[in-house]
Chains A and B, each alone.
Chain A
Amino acid sequence: MFNIAVNDAGVIVLAGRFDAAQTDRAREVFGAVTESAIVDMSRLEYISSAGLGILLATQQRLTKTGKKLKLVHMSKMIRDVFRIARFDLIFEIE
């Protein structure tokens, strides 16, 4: 089960399992992001390369206009995935 929502404060909240079968909805939400945004991962249980690819494409698009995603409340396991992918060099992680 995967869920993605934008809360009243404009924070993108991810929850559950962000796998290759969940990319359509995520692409729709991230595709609409045009300003710097915070991505709350406190309820995200899992992410694979499919999810990383969407985050990377969004960061690349935002970077062209001086904007960026900031990722917060990442679990240890997901932080390991970002470290192995070297995505910790691409994203601000808090």
Chain B
Amino acid sequence: MRQQFPKDMRSLEDVFDFLTRFTEAEGVDSEAAFAIALAVEEFFTNMVKYSRGGNGGVAIDAMREGGRVTVRLEEHTPAPFDVTRPTKTQFDIPVPDRRPGGLGIHLAKGLLDDLRYEYTDGTSCITLIKQLEK
């Protein structure tokens, strides 16, 4: 399944609808569906918040191959941002000093089985991979 979404926070509901249709049609278990939705939300909202002048929206492509789900998010953007690089989120510090920055990508990495990033000819492509329970 593939769908294009405007790069706008108001698109989020449509993104969730798309993912729900996909996971229900493909029989994806609820824990994997949760992880996929969270990861897609985090990367989609980052694309909206940190859009660096790219044109167009975000294309989301979801597919299931056997026991594996692959979701790709593509956007045109003038500069790459490699989401696979380590985040600067600090965890072992007192409550008053904790900051949420980088938390979304950290959560996505923790819930996924693999995360890949490519930047080719002005297009960023984030690939999320989630293995399904047997």
Residues of A within 8 A of B (CB): 17, 19-21, 46, 48-50, 52-53, 56, 59-60, 63-64, 76-77, 80-81, 84-86, 89-90
Contacts and interface: CB of A to CB of B under 8 A. Distances in A.
Interface of B: 9-10, 12-13, 16, 30-31, 34, 37-38, 41-42, 45, 91-92, 95-96, 98, 100, 103-104, 106-107, 110-111
A84 B41 contact: no
Contacts of B104: 48-50
Contact of B95 (A19, A60, A77, A81): A60
Classify the secondary structure of B's interface with A.
helix
Contacts, number: 60
Contact of B103 (A21, A52, A59, A76): A52
Closest 9 CB pairs of A and B: A84-B110, A49-B104, A53-B100, A86-B91, A49-B103, A21-B12, A20-B45, A77-B34, A48-B41
A21 B9 contact: yes
Contact of B98 (A19, A20, A60): A60
A50 B23 CA distance: 23
A19 B106 CA distance: 16
A49 B107 contact: yes
Contact of B96 (A63, A76, A80): A63
Contacts of A76: 31
B98 A56 contact: yes
A41 B104 CA distance: 20
A64 B96 CA distance: 8
A26 to B, nearest CB: 14
Contacts of A46: 34, 37-38
Nearest to A76: B31
